[in-house]
Homo-oligomer: A and B are copies of this chain.
């Protein structure tokens, strides 16, 4: 038992794990095993531990849910602190967005998550708590960040073709992009290196790229 002189909220981090599959932007959801909202889908997340920062909490949750470590770019998306957002007790959520390669995730329906699955991020099932709002804000944040940070390349299996990267970026941006402009911009951004390998599919082979190692995500401006 932990006792305080003043009321303290619980602090949690929810994590919006985005990936791409079947030509759709997907979000990882868990089915809640416990009340409240038992049986409903929700964002994975968990309570802050005494020895970690909020960001570390988000990374730990990400690892526990997906087995994915060392995601460079995770983006904090506001703070959700409406007093009544959790019916049990007051819980403040600090959500983070993480973009990962979906097939590399080993979903663990362990602890309090009865089940974990990927859903169309733009057409999710009804969500517990205020998670629909969190998801919406997160998709917007990803959209804003995508032109400036290499989020989308992290959602693809490496190596990938520029066409694959463009399709994925179009999903995140929610609009179609011009092929020549896209290639110019992504190459000028200097995120990628050619691997030399080619994909030999049904037609002309495409050059394959991967993210440069140790690419520095530089400071985000906030216009």
CB within 8 Å of B: which residues of A? 1-11, 47-48, 50-55, 76, 78-79, 81-83, 89-90, 92, 94, 140-141, 144-145, 147-148, 219-223
Q: Give the residues in chain B near A221, CB-CB below 8 Å.
A: 144, 222-223
Q: A11-B11, A147-B223 are in contact. List 13 more A-B contacts (CB 8 A).
A: A6-B10, A8-B11, A9-B11, A50-B83, A50-B90, A79-B79, A144-B220, A144-B221, A145-B223, A221-B222, A222-B222, A222-B223, A223-B223
- Cα A141 to Cα B50 with chains together (Å): 28
The SS class assigned to the A binding surface is loop
Number of copies: 2
Check A92/B6 contact, CB under 8 A, given A79-B76, A144-B222, A221-B223: no
Whether B3 lies near A1 (C-beta < 8 A) is yes
- Cα A131 to Cα B119 with chains together (Å): 41
Q: Which residue of B lies closest to A223 (CB)?
A: B148
